[in-house]
Structure 1
Amino acid sequence: MTMMRKTITIPDAMESWIKARIESGLYVNDSEYMRDLIRRDQERHAGEEQLRGLIAEGLESGMSNARAADIKKRVEDRLKADGRL
């Protein structure tokens, strides 16, 4: 993997925060901390995109004639089958 060097400017308060995170032992250095933040942002963005897709799919599917209790049961059954419940 190719690594690129980036230069950023941050306020003193943010620098202190980063140093405290490193001193706590959670990160080895500034770069590791920044990479972790970027990875988390990427994961959040991917989750948001997935949610937008699911919302669009739901809106496009139209209205249901099923009762709320029936829908809840189908969801529970599917989650149990997937091992998520």
Structure 2
Amino acid sequence: MPSLKALAYDCRHATRLIEKKQYEGISLRHNLQLKYHLSGCASCRLYHQQSLLISRVMKDMVNGAGVKAAGLTDADKETMQASIETQMRKG
């Protein structure tokens, strides 16, 4: 079982790869590492989903589409909030 310090490093590394993948692209090796980490880490999967949503909303806002056109409905907000609260309770 990996130590807490090793797990924290893996999560930090995964978040960097998530962001880099969206804007610059990552190598096949890094992509496989990220997929492997995401398969076992619910917190990083949630971060990935939120990061994609935030990027999409910001891109649409910059392009003048606004939040409604980006797909951030009240139901989306409630789903995100519930998911965040669930993950926070899990620790």
| Fold equivalence (TM over 0.5) | no
The higher relative CO (CA closer than 8 Å, separation ≥ 6) is in: 2
* TM-score normalised by length of structure 1: 0.31
